[in-house]
Amino acid sequence: MAGFLLQLLADGLVTGIGIGLVAISFTLYYATTGTFHVAHAGLYTLGAYMAWWLTTMSVPFALACIAAAAICLLAGLLVQVLVYDRLDRTDASPLAKLIASLGVLYVLQNLVAILFSPDLLQFPTAWRGGVIQLGEVYLSYAQLVVAGSGLVIFAALMAFTRLTMAGTRIRAVASNPFLAEITQLRPHRVYLMVMAIASAIVAVAGAAIGFDQAIQPYTGILVLLVATIAVIAGGIGSITGAFVISIFLSVLQNATLVVLPGRWSIALTFALFIAFIVIRPRGLFAHR
Amino acid sequence: MSFFLSYLILSAIFAILALSTNLLVGLVGIFSVSQAAIFGVGAYIVAGLTMHSVMPFLPALVVAMAVCAVLNVLLALPSLRVAGDYFVVTSFGSQLVATALFINLVFLTGGASGLSGIPAPEILCWKAVLPWQIAILSIAALAFVSLMFWLMMRSPFGKLINAVRLDENAVRAAGKGVRSTKLVVAAISGTFAAIAGGLYGVHLSYIDPVSFDIHVSILILAMMVFGGARTLAGSILGPLVLLALPQLLNLIQLPSTSIGPVRQLIYGLLLVLFMLFRPQGLLGKKI
C-alpha cells in the first residue's frame, strides 16, 4: 500500500513538472502581454504531433523535440504577427482577442486531427518503456525525460529572466507597458520574444508529456486549464509560483486517486480553484 | 422533407442558444464557453422528468428554466469577483466539469450512452409527435425568446445593460447596480438555454453527453460571432448558415474520420477571421 501511494505521488510529481512547463510558458506570455493566450494549448498540441511525426520517420526523439520547438516557435510568431498584433492595431477588446485566440486553438487542434488522426497515438520509440527502480518507486525512461527536461527548462527560464538584459526588459514591459513604450523599450519586440520563448517551451512540454503518456488532438485545453489554475494560484507573473503549484496540483490529483475515482479529478481541481479565487484572488506568490 | 424540417428545428434551437450566449458575451461582455453545459442541464431535466412521467412537458420545461437560471447565475458569480481573464478559466472549468458530470452521474444521465426514448411533448391536449409539429413548437419557442430579447433591448433595462458594458463606473455613479444587472442577464440567459435544451431532447428523443460538450459551446459562440453581437437577426442568421455548412461539406468527399475535425476547423477559422476583419459579424455591432 505504501509503495502504491509512493508510486502515485512520484507519477504525480513527474506529470506536474510537465504541466509546470505549460504553466511557466503561459505566465511568461500572459504577464508580459496581458493577452489570455488560449491558443497556447494549440501550440502544445502542435508540438506533440510534430515531435511524434518526426519520430515515426525515425528521427531521434531529442532531435524531434528540438525541431518541434522550432516549428512551434515559428507558428507562435505567426499567431502573434497575424492575429494579436493586428488586433492590437485595430484596438480590439480583450473579449475579441480571446475569441480570436480560441479560434486559433480550434484551427490548430483540428489541423493535427485532420493531418494525423483524431485518435490516441503512441510514440514509436522503443526505449521509452524502459524502467529504473528507486526504492519502491518505478520510473519509466519517458518519465525521466519529462522530469529532466522540465527541471532544466525551468532553471534556464529563471536564469534568463533574472540574469540577462533581455529578461530585465521582459519584466519591465510586464510591469508597465506604457512606460516601456515611452522609454523606447519597444514592447512590440518584447512581445515577439516572449511569444517565441513560450511557444518553444510549450512544444517541448507537449512532446515530453505525449512521449510519456500518449497524444490526442483535444487534450491540450485540459492541460492548459490546470496550468492556468496554477498560474493564477501562484500569482500572475510568478514563474516559480506557477511551477510549484502545477506540481502541487498534479500530486494532489494523484493522491486523491486513493479515495476518489480518477474521473472526478477535474472536478476536484476546479473546486479547489473556485475556493482559491474566492479566498485569495491575488495568488500565493504574488508580489505586486 | 423531414431532413429539411430537422434542419429548421435545429436552427431554431441553436438560434435560441445563440441569443442566450449573445446576452452574456455580446451584451454584458461576460466571456462564456459553458453555454452548452446549461443547455445540457435543461435537456437532461426535461428528459428525466417527462420520461419518468413526473410531469408533462411544459411544467418540466419551467422547472428546467428555473434550475438553469439559478445555475447560470452561480456560474456567472465568479465573473463579478474576479477579473475578466480569470473568468475564462472558470468558464472552461464549468464546461469540463459539467461534461464529467453528464458522463459520470449514470443514474441521472444514463452516462456516456445517454438517455433514449424521450416522450413526445404534450402541451395541454396537443401532442407534438410528427416532425412538422415539433418544428412549429420550436419556431414558436424561438419567436417567444426573440420577442423577450427584443422587448428587453428596447426597455429601460436594455439601456442599463448597454451602460454596464460601456462604463461600469458611470452606472454605479448613477446609483444603479452593476452586479444585479449582470446577474439578471445571466438568469435570463439561463432560461433561454433551458428552453433550447428541452426542445433538443424532444426533437431527437435521445440525448448524450457529446451533444453538450465544449465543442458545442464553441459552435454556439461561432454562430453568435458570425451573425454579430447584440442583434436579434444575427443570432438567427448564424445558426441557419453554420448548420447548413455540414451539408455543403457532404458535397466534397471527405474520409468519415475527418468530417468532424474539418467542420470544427472551419468554425475556428470563422472565429479568427471575423475577429480580425469583421468583429461586428454580418449584422451586429463590434464585440
Residues of A in contact with B260 (CB under 8 A): 113, 118
What is the CATH number for A78?
Answer: 1.10.3470
Could you tell me if residue A287 is inside a domain?
no
**pLDDT of res. A281:** 67
Is residue A45 within 8 Å of residue A113, measured between CB atoms? Answer: no
Could you tell me if residue A267 is inside a domain?
yes
d(CA B65, CA B69): 6
Mean pLDDT computed over B168-179: 88
Partner A contacted by B132 (CB < 8 A): no
Could you tell me if residue A285 is inside a domain?
no
DSSP secondary structure code for residue B25 in this structure:
I
Q: How many structural domains compose chain A?
A: 1
Cell of A209: 508529456
Highest mean pLDDT among A125-139, B81-95, B230-244: B230-244
Q: Going residue by residue through chain A, which has 288 residues, state the pLDDT in tens, using 9 for 90 and above.
A: 678 889 999 999 999 999 999 999 999 999 999 899 999 999 999 999 999 999 999 999 999 999 999 999 999 999 999 999 999 998 888 889 999 999 999 999 999 999 999 999 999 988 888 899 888 899 999 999 999 999 999 999 999 998 988 888 888 888 777 777 777 777 888 899 999 999 999 999 999 999 999 999 999 998 999 999 999 888 888 899 999 999 999 999 888 888 888 778 878 888 788 777 767 766 666 554
Least Cα separation, residue B127 to chain A (angstroms): 40
Assembly ipTM: 0.90
Could you tell me if residue A105 is inside a domain?
yes
Amino acid identity of residue B242, one-letter, is L
**Residue A106 is nearest to which of B84, B267, B275, comparing CB atoms?**
B267
Q: How many CB pairs under 8 A join A and B?
A: 128
**pLDDT of res. A46:** 97
Residues of A in contact with B272 (CB under 8 A): 83, 100, 103-104, 107
- Domain containing residue A226: 2-116+134-279
Could you tell me if residue A168 is inside a domain?
yes
Could you tell me if residue A81 is inside a domain?
yes
Least Cα separation, residue B229 to chain A (angstroms): 11
Tell me how far the alpha carbon of residue A31 is from its chain's centroid. 14
The answer on pLDDT for B38 being more than 90 is: yes
Q: Exposure of B104 by Cβ count < 10 A (0-12 exposed, 13-18 middle, 19+ buried)?
A: middle
Q: Is the Cα dihedral B21, B23, B26, B32 positive or negative?
A: negative
Could you tell me if residue A151 is inside a domain?
yes
Q: Which of A196, A190, A146 is nearest to A170 (CA)?
A: A190
Least Cα separation, residue A149 to chain B (angstroms): 27
Cell of B270: 470563422
Least Cα separation, residue A135 to chain B (angstroms): 36
Residues of A in contact with B85 (CB under 8 A): 30, 36, 94
**CA nearest A116 in B: which residue?**
B258
Cell of B230: 447584440
**pLDDT of res. A288:** 44
Q: What is the pTM of this model?
A: 0.92
DSSP string, A82-109: IIIHHHHHTT--HHHHHHHHHHHHHHHH
**pLDDT of res. B83:** 63
Partner A contacted by B88 (CB < 8 A): yes
